[in-house]
Amino acid sequence: MANFTLRVNGETKTVSVEPDAPLLYVLRNDLELNGPKFGCGLAQCGACTVLVDGKPTRSCVTPVSTAAKARITTIEGLGTVDRLHPLQRAFIDEQACQCGFCGNGMVMSAKALLDRNPRPSDRQIKQTLNGHLCRCASHNRIVRAVQRAAAALRAEGRS
């Protein structure tokens, strides 16, 4: 066990874990963040995605030691029920899920996309999210939600 200081959603937290413990379990179990989900543990589904220094990262295969110096953002860091981020609002407005288990990863990867491309085409959104699996098949709504969020962010002048 070793101590790691993590910067998560703007706060600094210290955890005592093995250096190779996957970041996902530290976020979920030590920091009690529900956003990132365990889906496969194999970097195949995207449910566990968080942003590490702004880059979508599969926390299920990311050792905590490699994320220790970075800025980590989870979906909790985007907004809350009372102060929704435009992406969260757009997913709610489009009712872009059934079970919603994939939603965390979709939102986080979309966030990174919109940060670098405020006006993506449907095709670009689909390509960006192609590594994310949705079994309930909410794909089309998810693409619409990302477009809606992009428009909202542009209108706000946030991107």
Partner 1 sequence: MNRRDFLKASGGLVIGFTLAPRLALGQDRLPGSLNANRMLDAWLRIEPNGTVTIFTGKIELGQGIGTALSQIAADELDVNLQRIDIVHGDTARTPNEGQTAGSLSVEQSGTALRFACAEGRDMLVSAAAAKLGVPATDLRVSDGTVSAPGGATVTYWDLARDTDFKREATAKVKPKPPAEHKWVGKSIARRDIPKKFTGGAAYVQDVRLPNMVFGRVVRPPSPGAQLLSVDEAAARRLPGVVAVVRDGNFLAVAAEREEQAIRAREALTRSARWKEAASLPPTGEALYQRLMSSPAPGETVVEKTSPVAEARVKTLEALYTRPYQSHGSIGPSCAVAHWQNGKLTVWTHSQGVFPLRADLAKVFGLNPQDIRCIHAEGAGCYGHNGADDVALDAALVARATGGRPVKLQWMRDDEFMWAPYGSAMAIKLSGGVDGQGNVVSWSHEVWSHPHSTRPGSSAGVNLLAARHLAQAFQPVLPADVPQPAGGAARNAIPLYDFPNVKVVKHYIAEAPLRTSALRTLGGYANVFALESFIDELALVAGADPVELRLRHLKDARARAVIEAAAQRAGWQPGLLGDGTRGRGFAFAKYKNLACHCAIVADVEVDRKTGRVSVTRVVAAVDAGQIVNPDGVINQIEGGIIQSASWTLMESVRFDRTRVTTRSWSDYPILRFTDVPEVEVLLLNQPAERFLGVGEGAQGPTAAAIANGIANATGKRLRALPFTAERVKQALA
Residues found near partner 1 in the complex (CB under 8 A): 1, 17-18, 21-22, 25, 28-29, 32-35, 37-42, 44-45, 47, 74-76, 79-81, 84, 88, 91-93, 95, 97-104, 107, 123, 125-127, 129-130, 132-143
Contact 107, 146 (CB under 8 A): no
* 45 lies in the site for ligand FES, by CB under 6 A: yes
Over the range 41-54, which residues count as b (16 or more CB within 10 Å of their CB) and which as e?
Answer: eeeebbbbbbbbee
Torsion 37-39-42-44 (CA) sign = negative
Is 46 a binding residue for ligand FES by CB under 6 A? The answer is yes
Considering only residues 4 through 33, tell me which ones interact with ligand FES, judged by CB under 6 A. none
Q: Which does 120 bind (CB under 5 to 8 A by kind): partner 1, ligand FES, none?
A: none
